[in-house]
Structure 1
């Protein structure tokens, strides 16, 4: 903070640029300053007078925890804000776009992108004050009124595309369940060479069978662990053993690996080439390991007798609805129930209740 002509202002190293004939500035700001310069009482300002969406307070603790738990290894993208026209840019030399940006303390600043990060930064600094010495980039646009700021928010967000669950799992090295899924995809049949690592679905003519995200979900179900749980080497060993054994007993998977049938042909005709079948197998695997911890490996062999063809009427209104594969949780559970019966696994009270409702 500096004082010039009796006016207090924030002073930031900055780069000046131009977009659509309008100036903008990329500044480096200490985290401790962020809560002070982005003050905003959304409860008193209706949506039509704001330049941002309401804060989803559920997201803030998760982002805060990420920041606090990874003080030496976090990454935050730049915040984007509109600032009133009375900012001053002082170039480091004549004609230079490198210099210092002066933002008066009383200047009105509207955040266009990053209000959840701003709130999380504020909470994280309370818990770990030393984070306040770190820096974050802030992209300042010169404000032309609230209408322009609202349009900026729309433009910034409508073109944003979230990465697919598979791609997120591929690149997320903090998520131990994603690490288990990656290891399975790279080392355990039937997944080796047949896993779609980037997309959330497998294309019709693709030479892949499963998505990385479906392997992750099915294995979470198998191990009875949520996405936020910690997955150990023992969990990976158990999952690897289970899926490798299942692979041995499913003839269709073996046929793909032997190049006797293409993955696209298998996906067209069989349920066990889709996430629904994979998650149902995960459910049955959990039941087997829970009820038969010493000999589940032997009991799983009966899977070889199951007719997985979509045309098989036993799947009607379970995995198949009106000739189409159903991905609902209820469909997966009903599919798992049929597999349990085939493997002579007693149904729990809850599973039996679902079965009774299905029959009526």
Structure 2
């Protein structure tokens, strides 16, 4: 690859008035449209930053996307990777259903120098850019967002009034354009635990975050960053594991991801209250969990959660899911009285959750060939252990959960 770089045709002028007058005079004779922008240098190239309405974005942007079937052998000749329609639909759904949405900047490429009349001092200058009608502004980064906007704006016309930031990079080398896209894609994905902590537009993530704030048993004891809690003695679950448990309780399935219906229907507080009630009643009636009913700051000296994870299944995600799913049967699948609910929760809390307990053997607990007991998390194993737990609760209470 050679060192050729196309560059914006930057024309510095003394004042803002001079730049504006010159730009408008030029546009009257050339037919180009004038846009306010910021001009700066980065990586030996001139970059132009614009704020454009979504309507203007759709008008100016051009795609040069590869076809997943037709371009298998020459995808490197296209500017963009193949469009993933499911990703487009996800973004469109987000735009139409999220009032406080946010879109990151788009990156366009222009292989034709854009004339800009600038003014000001310093590394970032203000300017008036002339965009001719025949210039091609191809999307380097943001093609899925662009296609999603096209779909969403039909359903939600008020999006016409919103705007986005667009960065135009001056580049005529296809290899460098591809490299720009690859460089933009090097961001580390947000860990699941951190996403569950931050994404409050997601119903399960929001309810999990409220559980960590409003219940002593979880407050200060949920790792909101890491993928696993490892050997840390201070944390019981990751945020994503708590979210999975909440999903089991609310839906009877940790794979359910419908994150909008409950809030639209005004049920959020009711569901949060039920979730808090269940976990609190379970903890109060379980000898080990009751140690967590006092604030985290008062229990760190005598509760080692790592040791409990080695000894028991209920301090592992597998056991927590089993407990939560039975909670779902109690609160959502049957019309029990408050007295029956209390009786069932007490029975559930009284089960022996030690790994050594025969109840869990050959389902979620197996021998590890070293004299120890290993927890397994396959769905079939959890389902088998769930049936055992249900049978035990029913035997103690005389109440059917099915």
TM-score (norm 2): 0.76
Checking the alignment, whether the CA contact within 8 Å between 2:98 and 2:201 is kept in structure 1 is: no
**Correspondence 1:114 to 2:145:** no
> Hey, what does 2:191 align to over in structure 1?
164
Specify the alignment match of 1:239 in structure 2.
275
Q: What is the match of residue 17 of structure 2?
A: none
The structural deviation recorded for 1:6 is 5.9
Q: Is the 8 A contact 1:13 1:100 kept in 2?
A: yes
User: Which whole-Å deviations, capped at 9, do the CAs of 1:201-257 have from their partners, x for residues lacking one?
Assistant: 223224110222222221222122743231422211111111011112333323466
**Equivalent runs, 1:1-360 vs 2, <5 Å:** 4=27, 7-40=30-63, 42=65, 46=71, 47-70=75-98, 73-93=100-120, 97-158=125-186, 160-224=187-251, 226-228=257-259, 229-230=261-262, 231-255=267-291, 258=299, 259-289=301-331, 290-291=333-334, 293-294=336-337, 295-312=340-357, 314-320=359-365, 323=368, 324-344=374-394
Report the Cα distance in structure 1 between the residues aligned to 2:84 and 2:367, rounded to whole angstroms: 38
Question: Counterparts of 2:239 and 2:379 in 1: how far apart (Å)?
Answer: 19
Partner of 1:310: helix, strand, or coil?
Answer: coil
Unaligned runs of 5+ in 2: 1-22, 369-373
How many Å apart are 1:190 and its aligned residue?
A: 2.1
Are the equivalent residues in 2 in contact too, given 1:82–1:111 (CA < 8 A)?
Answer: yes
Q: For 2:30 and 2:156, how far apart are their aligned partners in 1?
A: 31
Q: Offset at 1:292?
A: 5.9
For structure 1, which segment, 135-144 or 319-328, has the greater mean C-alpha deviation from structure 2 after superposition? 319-328
**Structure 1 counterpart SS, 2:247:** helix
User: Take 1:183 and 1:5, find their aligned partners in 2: how far apart are those partners?
Assistant: 58
For 2:361 and 2:196, locate their aligned partners in 1 and report how far apart those are by CA, in whole Å. 32
Distance 1:311 1:144 in 2: 67
TM-score, normalized by length of structure 1?
0.84
Task: Determine the C-alpha separation between the residues in 1 that align with 2:35 and 2:376.
Answer: 55
Partner secondary structure for residue 85 of structure 1: coil
Maintained 8 Å contact 2:118/2:126: yes
Asked if 1 retains the 8 angstrom alpha-carbon contact of 2:334 and 2:401, the reply is no
Between the aligned partners of 1:18 and 1:208, the Cα distance in structure 2 is 47
CA displacement at 1:186 relative to structure 2: 1.5
Task: Report deviation, 1:5.
Answer: 7.5
> Kindly tell me: are residues 248 and 100 of structure 1, through their superposed partners in 2, closer, same or farther at Cα, counting changes over 3 Å?
same
Measured against aligned partners, the alpha-carbon deviations of 1:4-32 in whole angstroms (never above 9, x if no partner) come to 37654443221112222122121111210
Q: Distance in 2 between matches of 1:343 and 1:34?
A: 60
**In terms of Rg, which structure is larger?**
2
1:337–1:347 Cα contact (<8 Å) kept: no
C-alpha change, 1:313 and 1:78, in structure 2 (3 Å) is same
